[in-house]
A and B are shown apart, each in its own frame.
Chain A
Amino acid sequence: GQSLEQPSEVTAVEGAIVQINCTYQTSGFYGLSWYQQHDGGAPTFLSYNALDGLEETGRFSSFLSRSDSYGYLLLQELQMKDSASYFCAVQPDSGAGSYQLTFGKGTKLSVIP
């Protein structure tokens, strides 16, 4: 099976940088994704890492190290609107050709002035 661990809550100051870590245990997976979910809203895709290394998309970056079973999401120049829950998710390689997502429990980020 798969399990993903991430901190339950993080608080950071507007304009600062915050890193949300994700450690996982899985037998095999296609890639690690990050999704953002505002209260009452739907998850929205932020980033995807299939290979080790850093992927940058605007203010957001994501990193994967398969050898360390570890990834993180880096948010720069934090804005109040970044207050949301952030989920890491893996796509288990089940051999069925499915790209289903197994999610972590989510990290609630609070951005304070």
Chain B
Amino acid sequence: DSGVTQTPKHLITATGQRVTLRCSPRSGDLSVYWYQQSLDQGLQFLIQYYNGEERAKGNILERFSAQQFPDLHSELNLSSLELGDSALYFCASSHDYTSYNEQFFGPGTRLTVL
């Protein structure tokens, strides 16, 4: 158990819909990273929040957005869903005091868009 929680575990929805994925970081970690894992693209960095502020953006579509709340949990919002958005979405947390920091991954949310 990494100490990072993600809900829901599975999500099945239809094209055009909007979903919200939730992540709670390990106690004490200020940084939350979101990653998407698909068969064709592998593990890709989407976006990072640090202590409530966006710190870095990766290959995140404009239809996707995220935020981090004062209690440090984070939500990833996916809208106008397409079939190609079906993937495993992980969040990871870390302390980020230095670059020598392991990222602790949550169990993931498996999104299926029908």
Q: Are A42 and B45 in contact (CB under 8 A)?
A: no
The DSSP consensus for interface residues of chain B is strand
Q: Are A45 and B103 in contact (CB under 8 A)?
A: yes
A-B contact count, CB below 8 Å? Answer: 59
Interface size on A, residues (CB 8 A): 25
> Contacts of B42 on A, CB cut-off 8 Å?
103-106
Interface string of A76-100 (1 = CB under 8 A from B): 0000000000010101001011111
> Contacts of A41 on B, CB cut-off 8 Å?
107
CA of A44 to CA of B92, assembled, Å: 10
A7 is an interface residue with CB less than 8 A from chain B:
no
B56 nearest CB across to chain A (Å): 4
Partner of A98, one of B43, B48, B92: B48
> Contacts of A89 on B, CB cut-off 8 Å?
43
CA of A100 to CA of B33, assembled, Å: 7
> Contacts of B107 on A, CB cut-off 8 Å?
41-42
Q: Are B90 and A99 in contact (CB under 8 A)?
A: no
Q: How many of chain B's residues touch chain A, expressed as a range?
A: 20 to 34
CA of A43 to CA of B45, assembled, Å: 13
Q: Are B105 and A87 in contact (CB under 8 A)?
A: no
> Contacts of B96 on A, CB cut-off 8 Å?
99
> Contacts of A12 on B, CB cut-off 8 Å?
none
| A43 with B99, Cβ < 8 A, contacts A101-B33, A101-B45 known | no
Interface string of A13-54 (1 = CB under 8 A from B): 000000000000000001101000000011111001010000
29 residue pairs bridging A and B, Cβ less than 8 Å apart: A30-B99, A31-B100, A33-B102, A41-B107, A42-B90, A42-B107, A43-B43, A43-B105, A45-B103, A48-B100, A89-B43, A96-B56, A98-B48, A98-B50, A98-B55, A98-B56, A99-B31, A99-B94, A99-B99, A99-B101, A99-B103, A100-B48, A100-B58, A101-B33, A101-B103, A102-B45, A103-B44, A105-B42, A106-B42
Q: Which residues of A contact B (CB under 8 A)?
A: 30-31, 33, 41-45, 48, 50, 87, 89, 91, 94, 96-106
Q: Which residues of B contact A (CB under 8 A)?
A: 2, 31, 33, 35, 42-45, 48, 50, 55-56, 58, 90, 92, 94, 96, 99-108
